[in-house]
Structure 1
C-alpha cells in the first residue's frame, strides 16, 4: 500500500475565492441607468444631477443658483426623456401673472360656458427659469402649488400628476428687476444647488459635442433611452421612504439643525423642515447606494444643499466675508457623528 505523497508545510494554502458582490437593488439599477442615459447628452454638473434625482425620489423641489448658459433646460428635457415624464419650462418675467402659470377659465362659444384651460404648470418636470424676476404674487402661487401639488381656480381643484418636480433658477449676478424670495418661501425647496462653470475637460466635451448643428430633439430621440416611467418613479419614491433611519441618526440630524439656531454667525437658523429634508434625502441616497439603511455619510453629502438656503448670516459675518457654506461646515464640525 503506497503512502500519500508528503505535502510540504511551506506550500501556501489556496486563498478563498473573493466574496461575490451583492446583486444591485432595483432602485440602484434605476439610478445607474438614469445617470448613464443623462450623461450621454448632459455633461458634468454631478452635484446638480445627484441633487435633482434625490429631490425627485424624495418628493421635493430644487432651487438652482447659476449664471445663464449652463444647460439647465437641456438637463430638464433630457431627464424628462429618460424618465418618460412630461416636462415644461416657464420663463418668469416682470409681467407674468399667476393665471399665466396655473391656467384660467376660457369662454367656449360652442357650449356657451367657461371651461378650464390648464397652464404650463400642469406637467411633471418643470423648469421655472429666473423665478425671482416675477412679482411676489406670481412666484408665491407657484410655491403654493409645489406644496399642495394641486391648483385651485374658481373654487375648483385640479390635481397635478405625479411625480411633480420643480427646478427653479435664479441668476446670482443680476439684481436689477428682481424680487428676492422670502425665507419662508425658500424653505419650500428641498435643496439649493450652486452650479458653477464646468471644468476645462468638461467644457471641451461640450464644445465638441454641442457644436455639430444637430437638433437637440434628434439627439434625445436617437441617443437617449427611456429607462422608466412615472408609475415606476412613484413606486421607487415610496420604496425610498421605507429605508431605515436609526434613532442615533435622527438625533444627529436634530442636533445639527438645532445648532444652526444658536450659532453666533447665523442670524436665522434652519427650520424643522430642514431636518425632514435631511432625513428624506439620506433615505434616498441610501437606496441609490443599494442599502436599506441610512448612514451619517448620507447626511454629510446633502447637508449643504439642504441647509444653505434656510439660514441667514449675521451682518457681522457678511462684513467679514464669511460664506454660508463656510459657516455651515464649521457648525457640522462641532456636532458629534454617531458611530456604529
Structure 2
C-alpha cells in the first residue's frame, strides 16, 4: 500500500495537488484502498472510490481541471483499459438496439431530478451566456441563437434529432411559428415533451434517427451527436443530408474533444453515458465530407463550465427534495457534474455549433453570434 500511495502522490504532485493538503482542490483520503484502486483501474477506480466515500474534495471541479491540464490520465494507462477499446473496435456500441441503453440508464432515471436541476424549459445542453445573467436566460439565448443561425421563418418545417424534453421544438414553434418533428429514444423525455408542448405545431416521436425518411427545411441536433459513436458518424450525416431540403441548413450542436477516440473514459461509460463518445473536429469533418460544406464553426466551450456549475448549484439546492436517490447516487452525480466542468475549464472539451449546407445548395452564409 505504501508504494501505491507514493506513486499516486507523486503523480498528483506534478499537477500541484497534495494528498490531504490544505488547498480546496487537494483530495482528502479516508480509506487507503483508494491508491490501489486508482493504480489498478485508472479513471474508473478514481470515480468509484469517490462514490464509495474513500475520498472527498471540496473543489472537485478544480482538482479535475488540474489533473487534465497536467495530462495525468495519460501518464497512468491502466491495463484494464484494453477491453473497452477492443470492444469498441469489434462491435457497434451505438447500434439501434444498444443505443437504447443511454435512454433507460440516463435520461429515464426521473424527470423529478432534471426538473430541479435544469432551467425552466428543461434544456439539457450548454447555455449561451454572452448576454445572460442566469441559467434561464442562457438557455433561451442558446435556443434563439440556433433559430437565427438557420434563418428560421414561420411555417418552416424542422427536424430535431435528439429532441430531449422538447425545449428547442417548443421554443421554435412558440417564438418563430415553425413546425417541428422531434425524435428521442427516452420514454420519459417523450412523455414530458408531449404533455408540455402538445398544443403547439410539434410532433414528438420515440424513434431512432436512422429511421427518419422525411424532408425538412432545416435539421438541428442539439447535444445528441455525442451518443452517435464513431462507427455511426457517417450514417448520421447521411441521414441529415437525406432529410434536408437542398436549400436548407443543418446545425450540429455537440461537445467536441481535441483528440479522436473510439471510447469515452470507463467511468463515464459505465455510470453516465453508456456508449457515448464525444467527437473530434477531424471525426466530424471526415463524416461530413462530400455530403456537406461547413459554413460556420462556433466554439463557446467556456459557457459549458458555467452551465454545469449552474446545474450543480440547482442540484445541491434541491437535494433534500430528491428522496428517491441514495447517497451513492448523490456522490456519483456530483462527480459527474463537477468533473465535466473541469473538462471544459481545462480546454480538453469544447462546445461546437456547426452550420452545414449541401454543396449544391446555398452558397452565401452570414455567421450569427
For normalisation by structure 2, the TM-score amounts to: 0.27
Query: Larger helix proportion, structure 1 or 2?
Result: 2
Q: Which has the larger radius of gyration?
A: 1
Q: Highest relative contact order (Cα 8 Å, sep 6+), 1 or 2? A: 1
For normalisation by structure 1, the TM-score amounts to: 0.29
